Amino acid sequence: MTDDIDDHAAWTAFAARDRGADGHFVVAVATTRIYCRPSCPARRPRRENVAFYADAAAARAAGYRPCRRCLPDGVARDRAAVATAAAILDCGEVPVLADLAARVGYAPHHFQRLFVRATGVSPAAYARARRADRVAGALAANGSVTAALYDAGYAAPSRFYEDAAPRLGMTPSQRRRGAPGETIRWTIATTSLGPLLIAATARGLCRVAFDEDADMLARLFPLAAIEAGDAALAAVAARVVAQVESPWRDHDLPIDVRGTAFQEAVWQALRAIPPGETRSYAELAAAAGHPGATRAAGTACGANPVAVVVPCHRIRRTDGTLGGYAHGPERKHALLEKEKRRRSDG
User: Tell me, what CATH number does 55's domain have?
Assistant: 3.40.10.10
- Report if residue 251 sits inside a domain: no
User: Tell me, what CATH number does 318's domain have?
Assistant: 1.10.10.10
Give Cβ neighbours of residue 59 (< 8 Å, ≥ 6 apart): 26, 28, 35, 53
pLDDT tens digits, 35-90: 999 989 899 999 999 999 988 889 999 999 999 998 898 877 887 888 889 888 88
The pLDDT of 208-212, averaged and rounded, is: 93
- Report if residue 279 sits inside a domain: yes
Quick check: pTM over 0.75?
Answer: no
pLDDT tens digits, 85-109: 988 888 777 788 999 999 988 889 8
**Are the C-beta atoms of residues 94 and 131 closer than 8 Å to each other?**
yes
Q: How far is Cα 225 from Cα 70, in angstroms, rounded to an integer?
A: 56
Nearest-10 crossing angle of helices 261-271, 294-302: 80
Q: Which domain holds residue 312?
A: 261-345
Of 83-87, 120-124, 177-181, 229-233, which gets the smallest average pLDDT?
Answer: 177-181
Same domain, yes or no: 16 and 48: yes
Q: Are strands 50-53 and 65-66 parallel, antiparallel or unpaired?
A: unpaired
- Report if residue 254 sits inside a domain: no
> 219, 245, 271 — which closes off a domain?
245
User: To the nearest 10°, the Cα dihedral for 139, 222, 165, 196?
Assistant: 170
- Report if residue 17 sits inside a domain: yes
- Report if residue 188 sits inside a domain: yes
> Which sequence positions are flagged as catalytic?
36, 312
User: To the nearest 10°, the Cα dihedral for 340, 342, 343, 346?
Assistant: 150
- Report if residue 256 sits inside a domain: no
Query: How many folded domains does the chain comprise?
Result: 5
> 215, 245, 275 — which closes off a domain?
245
